[in-house]
């Protein structure tokens, strides 16, 4: 039953990521800025061929390989930990779905679709990036509070 819940969470989170990327590609032009909350949050469509802040652009085959291996490592870690709590499962689901979402982009297009732009943050990112960071922070918190052994 827990595996079914995990797969369901991954599917929903992956749909959210890929759906928002499709929506932005459909309704925005590359580089177009669309204010959501003026002076705070905007949508700005970019194609990021690198990793965070565009680092390592031009190394797409290597990045695909690294992302694929890291995704397998996360799945392997899930199997080893055998998560008991909902929050531990959610943390892994966030990591796995975010990794798969960006990997799909990189394989399909050779870049990742980014669109979330905060005025005070120097990078533009996407839902998958948020999922990865949130999942990693959740698992770290659970580990530090001894909820993960």
Q: Following DSSP, what letter does each residue of 77-107 receive, concatenated?
A: HHHHH---SHHHHHHHHHHHHHHHHHHHHHH
Give percent of the chain with pLDDT exceeding 90. Answer: 68
Q: What is the mean pLDDT of the chain?
A: 91
Q: Which of 125, 129, 131, 132 is catalytic?
A: 129
Specify whether 105 is catalytic: no
Give the residue extent of every domain in the chain.
2-25+59-144
Q: Which of 63, 78, 105, 114 is catalytic?
A: 114
Check residue 55 and report its DSSP letter. T
Query: pTM score, two decimals?
Result: 0.89
Q: Residue 112: is its pLDDT beyond 80?
A: yes
**pLDDT given for residue 90 in this prediction:** 95
What is each CA distance from 129 to 4, 39, 80, 99, in whole angstroms? 24, 22, 24, 8
Confidence bin at 149 (pLDDT 50/70/90):
low
Specify whether 114 is catalytic: yes
């Amino acid at each position: 039953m827990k595996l079914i819940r995990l797969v369901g969470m991954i599917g929903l989170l992956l749909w959210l990521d890929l759906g928002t990327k499709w929506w932005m590609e459909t309704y925005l032009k590359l580089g177009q800025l669309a204010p959501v909350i003026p002076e705070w949050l905007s949508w700005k469509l970019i194609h990021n061929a690198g990793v965070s802040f565009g680092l390592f652009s031009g190394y797409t085959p290597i990045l695909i390989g690294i992302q694929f291996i890291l995704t397998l490592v996360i799945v392997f870690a899930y199997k080893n930990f055998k998560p008991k709590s909902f929050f531990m499962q959610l943390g892994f689901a966030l990591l796995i779905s975010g990794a798969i979402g960006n990997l799909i982009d990189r394989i399909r297009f050779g870049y990742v679709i980014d669109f979330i732009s905060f005025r005070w943050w120097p990078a533009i990112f996407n839902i998958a990036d948020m999922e990865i960071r949130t999942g990693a922070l959740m698992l770290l918190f659970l580990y530090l509070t001894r909820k993960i052994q």
